[in-house]
Chains A and B, each alone.
Chain A
Amino acid sequence: MIQTKNLTKIYNGITAVDNVSLEVPSGELCVLLGPSGCGKSTLLKMINALVPPTSGEIFVNGKNTHDIPVELLRRGIGYVVQNVGLFPHYTVMRNIGVVMKLLNKPKEDIEKRALFLLDLIGLPRSYASRYPRELSGGEAQRVGVARALAADPAILLMDEPFGSVDPLNREHLQNSFTEIQKTLKKTVLFVTHDVSEALMLGDRILLMQEGRIVREGTPGDLVFQEGDNFSQAFFGSEMALKLLSRYRVGQAYTKGMKIQNAACQPSRVGEAIPCLVSGNMPLSEALSLMIINGCRELAVSGDGFPQGTLSFESLLSYFRKGAPNVQ
């Protein structure tokens, strides 16, 4: 659990963080969203004591961080940043194991854990002996996540962790991080300026403006409830489309239905075929398929989902009463 009380940071007379009180319950992925310069990174850095607060208090797992030696505090918090900061003179293995080494864990445990984490983040085990300069940007970012997870901290702080990766790789990283978070259930405070990323990943979103938290809620709340001008402008009018990528076809389709009007446009050979999609497909992709193919219905099957259909109407009714809270 992370908790701050009246946290304030003033740099040379400029208030970067203004009297912020927040709470991230255990196991929640909480996104700090806001434009650059709104103080979200500073807030994050105060939690692991990289930046000393001007006033206010921080509690990590119920303990006031003021009473914990900074090194011990930091060893218990995973921290991932945009420009990774892997140690260039350490192999991937040593980079991942660095916190465990600081905690004097036995060598075999460190190696076992590092290999486990390589599997988890989806890199081949042979990467253990590579040096950071031999990794691509996306691979380095994955190793950065593995390093943060190595000592199995209850808390992860992530500062635009996927910001410097190209869009294709970013989506890949976001997806695999969602999967990892589903199994590990860390308490995560995730900083980003990217609305899509926030809507896709966050259990809860805190919107920051000029050092204050101006709005908070689940992604669905933020999209469906009306906010102030800043909030509306920041989320943009496409926000509902961005929210779609959070949900899967499997959550919104109707089981057992046969396709009524196989209204798919004729394919290039002139024969009408229904579009078949997996239950794991994000709803955003499903909607995109409907638009491309000019159809209102998709056939669903595979990946352990019973057969059925997803129609445009069922998509609308799924969201009719606000966004569902599906874990």
Chain B
Amino acid sequence: MSENKKLGYGKVGNLGAALYAVSALFFPYIQYRPNRVLTGEAYRLWQIDGMQGIIYCAIMLVISLLLFVLPHKRRFMRALLTLAAVFMTLFSLGQSAASLTSGDSIARASMGAGFWLSLASVFLMLSAARLEYVHDRLFQNALTLFSLSIFFVLLFLGVFDGLSVMREYLNRKETFLSQASAHLILASTSVGAATLLGVPLAFALFSRKRLERAVFFLVNLGQTIPTLSLLGLLMVPLGYLSSKYQIIKSLGISGVGFWPAWIALFIYALFPILHNALAGLQMVDPAVTQAAFSVGMTKNQVFYKVQIPLAIPLMISGVRTALTQAMGNAVLAALIGGGGLGSLIFLGLAQSAPDLILLGTLPLVLLTFLTDALLGRVVVALDKGGSL
């Protein structure tokens, strides 16, 4: 079939559009429970509150249909429809939850399989829409930013307030905010410290093969110990040190709490940061370094003008990996009283309250995604030589 007779996005996008319709029609979109712990009943979107659900469902079907019949070259229309699909997925969830639980403060409504499927299909469509603008970075970023802002605007307008996750949030707003910030501080400061140590260490190890092997033996060893064991193992020496030395105790360091978790995350972050920083330096073509000397650069100039700029993209991708990893691992800090979003998750596990688990997980996923995307952009912007 010729290019201009084709309809819809490519294969991926069309799959997304099809799943979008299927999720609205056939899958339970929302779970209703009379109270927090009882098992509940599932509703399809069109089963909700008479006309309201049917209208949402109909709009989503129309969007899906339009995406299928639009000629292939109308990519801008398709991008707009994709954003509309994002909006409808989120908006219909919030509205249905609100109408199911209105006036009943104990009843809970949470996302069902249909919503998750709808969300997944929206991701497929979004990536397909971005692919259609492969040469237009600006528009690609705008698409992502618009989708994110749709979510945040709806969140701040209180559209999701009927959802059980939001009820959990509203009930423990204080705890949530302090734990979320504790989580961020734990992950970012440990990765920050690992960067401050790892990058200069990489420079020190650069072209010192024997020292490199020795250091990497230690760092690798740290990496192979499971996170949970490392936390446990750190309790003993730290507890001992704090009982022995007053100064360590007065710094707030002991076998449990913030510091053992911080140290464990630090050790884990060191590996990818050190590894990438060193690889970045070693990747610089010797011909380029020699050329730098041959045009009359001093050793310092070669280092700052050539080696560092060429190594930096890989260094930052190391920090990016470490940060993503640390955001996830920091959940375990809750097990030894280190705080963070993990404390909500483990509390939810203990109480068999899935909503509480979601309250710990969803922001974590979102935050990790955002920092990862941001650092990814930084890497691309700095990688002028196109080495990555």
Query: Taking the nearest CB of chain B, how far is it from the CB of A88, in angstroms?
Result: 3
A133 touches B301 (CB 8 A): no
B387 touches A88 (CB 8 A): yes
Q: A83-B287, A89-B310 are in contact. Are A102 and B294 (CB under 8 A)?
A: no
Chain B 264-309 interface residues, beta-carbon cutoff 8 Å to A = 285, 287-288, 290-298, 301, 306, 309
* Size of the chain B interface, CB-CB below 8 angstroms: 20
Partner of A85, one of B291, B297, B384: B291
A131 touches B385 (CB 8 A): yes
Q: Chain A residue with minimal CB distance to B299?
A: A71
B103 at the interface (CB under 8 A from A): no
Query: Taking the nearest CB of chain B, how far is it from the CB of A34, in angstroms?
Result: 21
Chain A 51-86 interface residues, beta-carbon cutoff 8 Å to B = 70-76, 79, 81, 83-86
B296 touches A102 (CB 8 A): yes
Q: How far is the CA of A86 from the CA of B288 in the complex (A)?
A: 6
B306 touches A87 (CB 8 A): yes
Q: How far is the CA of A87 from the CA of B307 in the complex (A)?
A: 10
* Size of the chain A interface, CB-CB below 8 angstroms: 25
Which of chain A's residues have a CB closer than 8 A to the CB of B293?
A: 50, 74
Which of chain B's residues have a CB closer than 8 A to the CB of A131?
A: 384-386
Which of chain B's residues have a CB closer than 8 A to the CB of A73?
A: 296
Chain B 340-368: CB-based contact to A (< 8 A → 1; otherwise 0): 00000000000000000000000000000
From DSSP, what is the main secondary structure of chain B's interface residues?
helix
Q: A85-B288, A86-B291 are in contact. Are A133 and B296 (CB under 8 A)?
A: no
Query: Taking the nearest CB of chain A, how far is it from the CB of B240, in angstroms?
Result: 49
Q: A85-B288, A88-B288, A89-B309 are in contact. Are A79 and B294 (CB under 8 A)?
A: yes
A87 touches B287 (CB 8 A): no
Q: How far is the CA of A83 from the CA of B290 in the complex (A)?
A: 11
B290 touches A85 (CB 8 A): yes
Q: A81-B291, A83-B287 are in contact. Are A71 and B297 (CB under 8 A)?
A: yes
Which of chain A's residues have a CB closer than 8 A to the CB of B384?
A: 88-89, 131
A102 touches B306 (CB 8 A): no
A309 at the interface (CB under 8 A from B): no
Which of chain B's residues have a CB closer than 8 A to the CB of A70?
A: 296
Q: Chain A residue with minimal CB distance to B288?
A: A85
Which of chain A's residues have a CB closer than 8 A to the CB of B309?
A: 89
Q: Chain A residue with minimal CB distance to B309?
A: A89
Q: Chain B residue with minimal CB distance to A150?
A: B295
B296 touches A87 (CB 8 A): no
Query: Taking the nearest CB of chain A, how far is it from the CB of B291, in angstroms?
Result: 3
Tally of contacts, chain A with chain B, CB under 8 A: 67
Which of chain B's residues have a CB closer than 8 A to the CB of A83?
A: 287
B288 touches A87 (CB 8 A): yes
Q: How far is the CA of A84 from the CA of B310 in the complex (A)?
A: 17
Partner of A89, one of B294, B296, B385: B385
Chain A 287-316: CB-based contact to B (< 8 A → 1; otherwise 0): 000000000000000000000000000000
Q: How far is the CA of A85 from the CA of B285 in the complex (A)?
A: 8
A99 at the interface (CB under 8 A from B): yes
Q: How far is the CA of A132 from the CA of B292 in the complex (A)?
A: 15
Q: How far is the CA of A81 from the CA of B387 in the complex (A)?
A: 21
Which of chain A's residues have a CB closer than 8 A to the CB of B301?
A: 102
Query: Taking the nearest CB of chain B, how far is it from the CB of A110, in angstroms?
Result: 13
Query: Taking the nearest CB of chain A, how far is it from the CB of B39, in angstroms?
Result: 59
Chain B 307-333: CB-based contact to A (< 8 A → 1; otherwise 0): 001100000000000000000000000
B295 touches A98 (CB 8 A): yes
Chain B 226-242 interface residues, beta-carbon cutoff 8 Å to A = none
Which of chain A's residues have a CB closer than 8 A to the CB of B285?
A: 85, 88
Query: Taking the nearest CB of chain B, how far is it from the CB of A94, in angstroms?
Result: 10
Q: Chain B residue with minimal CB distance to A102?
A: B296
Query: Taking the nearest CB of chain A, how far is it from the CB of B178, in angstroms?
Result: 43
Partner of B385, one of A71, A84, A85, A88: A88
Q: Chain A residue with minimal CB distance to B293?
A: A50
Which of chain A's residues have a CB closer than 8 A to the CB of B298?
A: 71
A133 touches B385 (CB 8 A): yes
A102 touches B385 (CB 8 A): no
A75 touches B295 (CB 8 A): yes
Q: Chain A residue with minimal CB distance to B387?
A: A88
Which of chain A's residues have a CB closer than 8 A to the CB of B292?
A: 85, 87
Partner of B291, one of A75, A84, A89: A84
Which of chain A's residues have a CB closer than 8 A to the CB of B290?
A: 50, 81, 85
Q: Chain B residue with minimal CB distance to A82?
A: B287
B296 touches A74 (CB 8 A): yes
Query: Taking the nearest CB of chain A, how far is it from the CB of B179, in angstroms?
Result: 42
Which of chain B's residues have a CB closer than 8 A to the CB of A147?
A: 295
Partner of B295, one of A102, A132, A133: A102
B386 touches A99 (CB 8 A): no
Q: A88-B387, A89-B384, A131-B386 are in contact. Are A50 and B294 (CB under 8 A)?
A: yes
Q: Chain A residue with minimal CB distance to B284?
A: A88
Which of chain A's residues have a CB closer than 8 A to the CB of B306?
A: 87, 89
Which of chain A's residues have a CB closer than 8 A to the CB of B296?
A: 70-76, 99, 102
Which of chain A's residues have a CB closer than 8 A to the CB of B387?
A: 88
Q: Chain B residue with minimal CB distance to A103?
A: B296
Q: How far is the CA of A79 from the CA of B296 in the complex (A)?
A: 10
Which residues in A have some Cβ–Cβ distance to B below 8 Å?
A: 48, 50, 70-76, 79, 81, 83-89, 98-99, 102, 131-133, 147
Given contacts A89-B385, A102-B301, 16 further A-B contacts (CB under 8 A): A74-B294, A74-B295, A75-B296, A81-B294, A84-B287, A84-B291, A85-B288, A85-B292, A88-B288, A88-B310, A88-B385, A88-B386, A89-B384, A99-B295, A102-B297, A132-B385
Q: List 19 A-B contacts (CB under 8 A).
A: A50-B290, A50-B294, A71-B298, A72-B296, A74-B293, A74-B294, A79-B295, A81-B291, A83-B287, A84-B287, A86-B288, A87-B292, A88-B285, A88-B385, A89-B309, A89-B385, A99-B296, A102-B296, A147-B295
List of 4 A-B pairs having minimum Cβ-Cβ separation, nearest first:
A85-B291, A88-B385, A75-B296, A74-B296
